[in-house]
Amino acid sequence: MPDLFEIMQTCRSMRRLKPDPVPDELITRILEAGTSAPNGGNFQRWRFLVIKDRKIKEAVQVWYKRAFDETVGPRYLASEPPPGVSKERYLRQHEAVSYLTEHFHEAPVWIVACQEDGVAPNRASGASVYPAVQNMVLAARALGLGTTLTTRHLLYEKEAEAALGLPRGVHSYAILPIGYPMGKFGPTKRAPLAEIVYQDRWGEPYAG
Ligand SMILES: Cc1cc2nc3c(=O)[nH]c(=O)nc-3n(C[C@H](O)[C@H](O)[C@H](O)COP(=O)(O)O)c2cc1C
């Protein structure tokens, strides 16, 4: 198994997934990695919904696709590539995003990361569930499984959460579509540290 740094640095979003089933033991290992993550006060208000039922995935995909067709797709094409990413790579990513949109429900397993609302849900609420989400993304990578952290269904939050059957007082924060990847893992592309890390004073280069 690659070491942790290699796993992190080659954990690009894997949007093209095979429909082949994923053994439950691997999903359990991913969930265990998720629940090892830090969370506020260790209250563990997180809940994880494993979805294999095709009908449920299809019902959510409708909203995921609608958000792409109406908002995300056009915005993406009108935007400049992000820092550290060439135009060509950006367009390739758009194709992959579009592919995942069409095939979202075909990923054999989804893990939906949810959380019970606390007494006063606020903007920091996600901070108690996203560390678990990222642990699961890395665990999937370590096990040779592909996934992508997705939140786009939240553009149609009410409709998607109704399709997921979430009870009152519980909200979804991310959907991880998981499966064996068609392509190869590869390096993530980001701006160099020199452009984004400062030392002591904002804008002054980090000397490390
Ligand atoms: C908060 C968040 C939401 C995201 N939502 C989606 C999504 O709905 N669909 C998708 O295809 N990718 C989604 N992504 C993946 C990002 O697009 C991806 O991480 C980014 O473009 C960098 O690409 P890389 O992961 O391949 O390095 C999301 C990532 C984050 C952190």
How far is the centre of ligand 1, averaged over its atoms, from the C-alpha of 3 (Å)?
23
Task: Give the whole-angstrom CA distance, residue 60 versus residue 158.
Answer: 11
Pocket lining: 151 vs ligand 1, CB cutoff 6 Å: yes
Is 71 touching ligand 1 by the criterion CB < 6 Å?
no
What local confidence, expressed as pLDDT, does residue 164 receive? 98
Query: How remote is the CA of residue 149 from the centroid of ligand 1, in Å?
Result: 6
- Cα–Cα distance between 194 and 46 in angstroms, integer? 36
Q: Phi and psi (nearest 5°) for 23? A: -60, 140
Q: Is 175 near ligand 1, meaning CB less than 6 Å away? A: no
Domains of the chain (ranges, CATH numbers) = 4-182+189-196 (3.40.109.10)
Instruction: Could you list the beta-strand ranges (E) of 19-148.
Output: 46-51, 109-116
Compute the distance between CA of residue 91 and CA of residue 61 in angstroms, rounded to an integer: 22
* pLDDT tens digit sequence for 146-167: 999 999 999 999 999 999 999 9
Residue 121 reports pLDDT greater than 80: no
What sections of 35-117 are H helices per DSSP? 54-67, 73-78, 87-103
Residue 179 has pLDDT above 90, yes or no: yes
Q: What is the DSSP letter of 181?
A: B
Which token pair is 94?
């758009």
Return the best residue to mutate from 98, 148, 176, 190 for the ligand 1 pocket (most ligand atoms within 8 A of CB).
Answer: 148
With 0.95 as the threshold, say if the pTM is over it: yes
Q: How far is the CA of 152 from the centre of ligand 1 (A)?
A: 9
Q: Is 12 in the pocket of ligand 1 (CB under 6 A)?
A: yes
Strands 46-51 and 170-178 turn out to be unpaired
Is-contact 8 167, C-beta < 8 A?
no
Q: Does 153 sit in the ligand 1 pocket, CB within 6 Å? A: no
The more confidently predicted of residues 71 and 124 is: 71
Q: Which residue has the tokens 């007082």?
A: 169
* pLDDT at residue 181 is higher than 80: yes
Residues 36-93 pLDDT 10s: 999 999 999 999 999 999 999 999 999 999 999 999 999 988 999 988 889 998 999 9
Contact (Cβ atoms closer than 8 angstroms) between residue 34 and residue 139: yes
| Amino acid in the structure at residue 52 | K
User: Token match 């060439």: residue?
Assistant: 86
């452009």: which residue's tokens?
195
